[in-house]
Structure 1
Amino acid sequence: MEDLKEILKERILIFDGAMGTELMRRGLLPGECPEGWNISHPERVEEIHKAYIRAGADVVETNTFGANRIKLQNFGLSDRAGEMNFRAVEIARKASGGRALVALSVGPTGMLMEPYGNLSFEEACHVFREQMESALEAGPDLIVIETMSQLQEARAALIAAKELASIPVAVTMTFEESGKTLMGTDPITALVVLSSLGADMVGLNCSLGPDKMAEALTEMAGFNVPLIVQPNAGIPELIDGRAVYRLTPQDFAEHCKKLAKIGVNAIGGCCGTTPEHIRLLKEVLSGMKPKALTGRPGLELSDNADGSSNSISPMLILCSDKKTFFVSPKEPVKIIGDRINPTGKKVMIEELKQGSLSSVIEKALNQKKAGAHILDVNIGAAGIDERTLMRQVVLRLQTVVDLPLCLDSSGADVLEEGLKVYAGRALVNSVNGSEKRMERLLPLVKKYGAAVVALAMDERGIPQKAEERVKIARRIVERAEEYGIRRQDVVVDCLVLTAGAQQEYVMEAIRALRMVKEELGCLTTLGITNVSYGLPGRSSLNGAYLSMALGAGLDLPIVNPLDPEVWEVIRAANVLTGRDKNAADFIAYWGEKDGEPSKKQKTEPAAGEKENGAETAADMGRRLYDCILEGRRNVAGDILKDLLGAGKGPLEIVDEIIVPALKEVGVKYELGEFFLPQLIQSAEAAQEIFKLLKERFPADQKKSRGKVVLATVKGDIHDIGKNIVKVIMENYGFEVIDLGKDVASEKITEELMKHPGIRLVGLSALMTTSIPAMERTILDIKNLDPDCRVVVGGAVMTRPLAEKIGADFYAKDALEGVKVAERVYDGEQA
């Protein structure tokens, strides 16, 4: 078989189709471990591979999607994971006979990653490494990490793969109809993070049919990264007691042809697709050219069809797990907020020593509100366990802000703790010209797909003259390139000296900045506020120096975003340097009438502060409301205490603050402004307030809003969605009886007999084969208690299907499940 990278340039690579449904056609029983057939029925697995190869597949994927230790625990087979993976590759290699490439299929663990669940980055890496090590001994040609809904889990699997092997790795995420993943990641952010980590192909699979994938694929196609898509054969329907995918092979192939025209390098099938789907897919794509890959694959815009370049050079791309920012000389200046730094902040230092992150969260939120694009995170101070705290801070910040982080520390081990748990693409601050520092830090930057700040200094300190600083910067940039770090991902800091102590050298940083731009072609950053340290009138000095630096081409100033003068200077400079086209942002900021500044000019006071006088109960109530919206459970207790002390009653707080806040969260979730992480954080903040209020409630108010039984039905071992529903329902005041996964209907009816007051049962199913079991369970529940309501959900469920199997309600997500519970119990009370 030809080399994969050569095929991607010449023609569209055809992957195989579904494995699970083909196993079922050959006798796999509901609830049986599919990967176990690699040991018990290898000839039938081999037969499936051969069928896809006869249909024209260039790549066959091993029967190992769920062959990780965590998934196999559900079948009591975790101790045989190594054997299953090794045998799966052997079977596929035997079937291919050199006619097709063999891809090791690696699926998710089914657990939520930190900070939203209990699976740590390290444990996830270990689990994936175990699976891959065994399989690699049998010699697969590539690895496909697929059906990932959590970007952090995809990162863990990809980093494990890159540590173990030099073979190509493809990664596909699963997106919902909203265009985002379950956790709120958009297609471009996924592509940026995964390609920066070294993925050889990036794309999307499962969840949707080919007709629903065009928009996400179009967004990804703008980058010089090979793309792969593997759609389902439409949405399943229940026919004669079994789930059937209705998209015909012909229709599937025609839809995929449209995707190919957008620009892909590989196409295959996911759930419901068969060898016939792949045969017709091969036929319709015959002769079609793949997505053109110009120059080095990576985070660069693709060239136009006429050969002209779209790339903005240099261009740095940073992102959180939900939002992407572009930094280039042609874009408006992006700023790095510098407020998360304990230097000179006694209150913040004491809080950090006690493990409290209140000040960090407040400063992050205030900087975001003020307009910062990136947040510098420095938590180093005497008496602080910086390594442990960096991990905690990075995990927590991801739950409250969607801005990229700049991880700032002199300790390489501290930076690695943050890099491991950060699900986006971070900027590392910093590396200097010391050989020891470069050798220790640059491999970490490469491994975790980050960008890096290069300080124009070495072990001898900061040179006085610009020429020496540029010489050191050049050395760092060239060394970074030796490690495979692109020049555009190295941001040079020419280092600002304070005017109060070294006035004669203050302008050397700006002179060096100009030289770096001209000679090295790198983006630049400066810590502007350093210039005024120890002097009065700091804001005025900072503004003047910032103006000079921007005129010299500064790209990423590190500043205090709460200083209004900073924004006035930046917006004016953006106009004068051509970064703000047609002065659009400048005009919007200042307003159009008489040149008077608009309300946007005013900087909001920090949370808890008043512009004039003391806080009123209404002010405190607004802050508590905002705590729920922003998921800040860590400060809710203090605000609640003040609010109760101001005479606000517990019931008033519930009716006037908590309930309306949760309703607004729900609206934002439905509008796509909030995603699952924000929903969880807001619900947990509300639950924290409820918990504190229980002490003040009358006894008759302490009852839960109602009991709900939750279960994943018999034969289905997937419960990540059900677990999310449990968290949200509990935090909305319902008592949840969680029966787990693979639950027989008898166990559910027994639970209902134990608790005759239960009015709602929630059933979940991810697999199409579980739908008949769900239908039987609903029938058993109704036979026991016709008045008990049943709500169903899961990846394969639809509203028409829910109605067909006798469910009372369908919930497309956790929040809709809460609404169903409210409807059921409110109706009963009425």
Structure 2
Amino acid sequence: MGTMLQSAGMQDGKIPEEMNIESREIVIDIHKKYISAGADIITTNTFGANRIKLEKSKYELEEIIRAAVHNAKEAAKEFENVSIGLDIGPIGELLEPMGTLSFDEAYETFKEVVMLGEKYNVDLYLIETMTDLSEARAAVLAVKENSSKPVFCTMTFDESGRTFTGVCPESMCIALNALNVDAVGINCSLGPKEMVPVVDKILEFSKCPVIIQPNAGLPVSVNGKVVYNVKKEEFAEYVIDFVKKGASLVGGCCGTTDEYIQYLKSKLKGESKAQRSNKQISRVCTATRFVNIEGVKVVGERINPTGKKLFKEALRNNDLDYVVREAITQVKNGADILDVNVGLPEIDEKKCMVNVVKEIQSVTDVPLQIDSTDCKVIEEALRVYNGKAIVNSVNGTEESLNNVLPIVKKYGAAVVALALDDNGLPKSAEERIAIAARIVKRAEEIGISREDIIIDALTLTVSAQQNQAKETVKAVKYITDVLKLKTILGVSNISFGLPNRNLLNRTFLTMCLNSGLTLPIVNPGSSEIMDTIMAYKVFNMEDVNEENYVKHFAVNQDEKTTTKERDTADLKEIVIEGLKDEAAKATESLLQEKKELEVVNEYLIPALDIVGERYEKGIIFLPQLIGSAETVKKSFEVLKQSLKSKESGSLSKGKIIMATVKGDIHDIGKNIVKVILENYGYDIMDLGRDVNPEYVAEMVQKHDVKLVGLSALMTTTVKNMAITIEKIKDKKQDCKVFVGGAVLNEEYAKMINADFYARDAKESVKIAESVLRKH
């Protein structure tokens, strides 16, 4: 749509959605061209139609959507069997914890759009060009909860195989399939050739139909004009191959005019879609990591107040850093999944659970098991959880089945099924098995798949009920071998009240593992327990050539950490781990013996360098990068206050102006770069978004700034970036300009006369250091 509007004469910087009202005939004509070319679905000119993006528009949101839908219907009325999809793009702001927009605010923003789609009766919804899985989930839920129409959702990936925020294709499929979308896939960002590895993963992992919409390659300059570098013939060749592999819906994104669609349609005649055979595998995920529940996976038990005095105090005092430390420590010690229970009668469990889930997901990427007896707590946690979680738990009572299972189904979570019912704790393996089978039957009746049901055959304290240990082991084996279901057990329950608990725990664990236990809930800080699991994996052929076993014992076991052993004054580690609340305290402690700049240069900058290096290598992703940057901000507040009290010195390493160019209302990339640069000690003058070229140049001259960062996310506004650079160069010859944004690359940056191209936030730091060190 953007390409077609530009070729029809849309002015640079114009809000494309306003053309639904001001240039109706142009928009209608574009729709007709695509329908005539053979499109079965046309999407409305509403990609940026939400109240946040249209903040500066002269028109109300409803005016624009009403006109957009009317234009599409007007174009389609002469044709048969054409569906109209309401196009829903990103909001343009980062959601928490990376940004400031809450999940609920994002949901309400999308809900407004969906309600208007319902009012003006579109046929379906296309959520597209998403980079943040949390935002995609908010949009999907807004459709699912306010409409019965089909919903497609596509995300945009770069050549690393991940989205801008680090989402992997596998997690996208797992999480969005869980929400029961009608199609999931990829659009924009890449040409069809570059999309191949991502498409292959989506086709492997998605249970629902797959939608593919590549760009016509990448924008390049030919005789001063921007064109896309993939011709319709090459485009069609790759897209047809996607169909042969199993894609159900195909089309085009940036640069694909009606000619591309017409040519593709003609070549698709006679082609048949491959039947995909998706193996039903138990999986959970976060946005950046997925876990196949195949073989043994460790569930960390430590985020639970039961029997933990310090943990209870932390929850009462809202000390989330204590909870986050437990999460980080368990992951370091080998946990694959973390059980999260914050149930204390004297606190607001729902509010606490939501905050804990957000905080843990900002510092680590392992999937979570939401553990509560309160259905409202479970639902609120699943709503904000960025991925697919496990719910712990449902049991065989009618109350539990009626209350918990619908929530599990709605959010597509996996669920732990406790083998107990109204008759209380079962005494035999057979009773446990019967209850488990009944829960599975009820779950399947409402559409929960067997691979998402995990049976807890109950671990009872051997000191009180010695004969029950063998019954549990027997039940685990039957459930594994006969019912073909996954199993989970809280292993340490077995040894309460007895000496040498670790011996009992690991012996019982070995018996259960040998009977097929999939998910042992254990303390990963126990070397005996983790060593037992490592050894078992060797004998069960889960550790091929004993590689992990050898690596595990090559590491000095003394390096294993527990919360109590941690030095809270280690500011560098605090920054790396993103423990925001501890940063101020550690900084104050260091200031007793260090000067402010020494703290910056010896602790903060080295920590950020380590975080940046991990980010560049793909070890961590944007949430963790932002988390560390926000932690540094807490430290900087203390340092600046200290300097102010002494009335001496400055922490600034130089001044940088940043702006999103005229006509572009996206702040995401710029804001991330701003946060990172600020925390490296640079003073940032943020001019905001949709900034006039003349104003940027004036501010450069007025404040004698040596470096400017410009951002653009839309192809329609890159020309204004070139104009802005020209104005800056005219006024201040020794000012350097770096540029960034999804539509840019190195070649394009040179074409518009930028001095540097910043592919990500870390690159901008290198640029700043190279330029401002000279001044």
Would the TM-score normalized by the shorter structure come out above 0.5?
A: yes
Unpaired runs of 5+ residues, structure 1, are: 1-18, 295-299, 302-310, 591-597
Say whether the 8 Å CA contact 1:232–1:270 is kept in structure 2: yes
Residues 216-227 of structure 1: matches in 2 within 5 Å? 216-223=198-205, 224-227=207-210
Contact 1:74 1:717 in 2 (8 A): no
Matched, 1:324 2:290: yes
Task: Pick from 490, 499, 507 the counterpart of residue 527 of structure 1.
Answer: 490
Secondary structure, aligned partner of 1:479: helix
CA distance in 2, matches of 1:603, 1:489: 36
The alignment yields a C-alpha RMSD, in angstroms, of 2.2
C-alpha separation between the residues in 2 aligned to 1:91 and 1:734?
Answer: 53
Q: After TM superposition, which residue ranges in structure 1, 4 or more long, deviate above 6 angstroms?
A: none
Within a 5 Å distance, the mapping from 1:389-468 to structure 2 comes to 389-468=352-431
CA shift for structure 1 position 134: 2.0
Aligned ranges 1:46-195 → 2 under 5 Å:
46-80=28-62, 81-84=64-67, 86-88=69-71, 90-91=73-74, 93-94=76-77, 97-195=79-177
Matched, 1:540 2:503: yes
Bigger Cα displacement from structure 2, 575-584 vs 370-379? 575-584
* 2:314 is the counterpart of 1:351: yes
Tell me, what secondary structure is at the counterpart of 1:673? coil
Aligned to 2:416, what secondary structure does the other structure show?
A: strand
Q: Match of 2:773, SS?
A: helix
Distance 1:109 1:469, change over 3 A: same
Match for residue 765 of structure 2? Answer: 818
Name the CA distance, whole Å, in 2 between partners of 1:556 and 1:321. Answer: 21
| Rounded Cα–Cα distance in structure 1 between residues aligned with 2:21 and 2:114 | 17
> Which ranges of structure 2 fall in alignment gaps of 5 or more residues?
none
CA distance in 1, matches of 2:425, 2:58: 60
Q: Are positions 1:334 and 2:300 aligned together?
A: no
Q: Give the 3 Å change call, closer, same or farther, for CA 60–600 of structure 1 in structure 2.
A: farther
CA contact (8 A) 1:67 1:84 kept: no
8 A contact 1:500–1:534 mirrored in 2: yes
Deviation, structure 1 residue 541: 0.8
DSSP-derived class of the 2:158 partner: coil
Secondary structure, aligned partner of 2:318: coil
Residue 643 of structure 1 deviates from its aligned partner by: 4.0
Q: 2:663 aligns with which of 710, 715, 729?
A: 715
SS of 1:507's partner is helix
577 and 239 in structure 1: CA distance in 2 versus 1, 3 angstrom threshold = closer
Q: Give the corresponding residue for 2:235.
A: 252
TM norm structure 2: 0.95
| Aligned-partner SS, 1:280 | helix
> Which whole-Å deviations, capped at 9, do the CAs of 1:740-786 have from their partners, x for residues lacking one?
1111122223323432x311121111222222222221121122111
Query: Residue by residue, what CA displacement relative to the aligned partner does 1:501-531 show, whole Å, maximum 9, x if unpaired?
Result: 2223232222222232344321110101111
- TM-superposed deviation, 1:207: 0.8
Contact 1:633 1:688 in 2 (8 A): yes
Aligned mates of 2:171, 2:658 — CA distance in 1 = 33
Residue 261 (structure 2) aligned to one of 278, 293, 303: 278
Whole-angstrom CA distance in 1 between matches of 2:495 and 2:70:
66
Q: Does structure 2 conserve the Cα–Cα contact (< 8 Å) formed by 1:204 and 1:229? A: yes
How many aligned positions are there? 771
How far apart in 2 are the matches of 1:84 and 1:818? 44
Name the SS of the counterpart of 1:54 in structure 2: helix
Q: How far apart are 1:580 and its partner, in Å?
A: 3.7
Equivalent position amino acid for 1:322 in 2: T
Q: Deviations over 1:79-130 (max 9, x none)?
A: 42552454355345425x2243322221111111111112222222222222
Distance 1:822 1:233, change over 3 A: same
Once the 2 structures are TM-superposed, how far is the Cα of residue 29 of structure 1 from its aligned partner? Answer: 2.3
Letter in 2 for 1:670: E
Alignment of 1:644-683 (within 5 A): 644-645=591-592, 647-683=593-629
What's the counterpart of residue 568 of structure 1?
531
Find the aligned partners of 1:364 and 1:40 in 2 and give their Cα distance.
54
Task: State the Cα deviation string for residues 614-652 of structure 1 (Å, max 9, x = none).
Answer: x7xxxx77x32222222222222333344445x444443
Relative distance call for 1:42 and 1:94 in structure 2 (3 A) is farther
- Matched residue of 2:388: which SS? coil
Q: Deviations over 1:133-171 (max 9, x none)?
A: 222344433321110000011111112222233333221
Give 2:27's match in structure 1, choosing from 31, 34, 45: 45
What secondary structure sits across from 1:119 in the alignment? coil
Q: Which residue of 2 aligns with 1:287?
A: 270
Task: After TM superposition, list the pairs within 5 Å mapping 1:492-507 onto structure 2.
Answer: 492-507=455-470
* Superposition TM-score, scaled by structure 1 size: 0.89
* Contact 1:687-1:733 within 8 A present in 2 as well: no
Aligned to 2:675: 727
Conserved 8 A contact 1:159-1:448: no
Distance between the aligned counterparts of 1:633 and 1:398, measured in 2?
A: 14
1:773 maps to which residue? 720
Take 2:8 and 2:485, find their aligned partners in 1: how far apart are those partners?
59
Tell me, in whole angstroms, the C-alpha distance in 2 between the residues paired with 1:126 and 1:393: 23
Q: Aligned with 1:237: secondary structure?
A: strand
Is this contact kept in 2: 1:46–1:91, CA < 8 A? yes
Indicate conservation of the 8 Å contact 2:362/2:624, yes or no.
yes
1:717 deviation in Å?
1.9
Paired position in structure 2 for 1:751: 699
Query: Would the aligned equivalents of 2:171 and 2:287 in 1 still touch at CA under 8 Å?
Result: yes
1:11 is matched with none
Comparing 254-263 with 518-527, greater Cα deviation is found at 254-263
Aligned to 2:250: 267
Deviation at 1:602, TM superposition (A): 4.7
Q: Which amino acid aligns with 2:415?
A: V
The 2-side partners of 1:799 and 1:165 are apart by 43
Structure 1 CA distance for aligned equivalents of residues 466 and 24 of structure 2: 77
Task: Describe the SS at the equivalent of 2:605.
Answer: helix
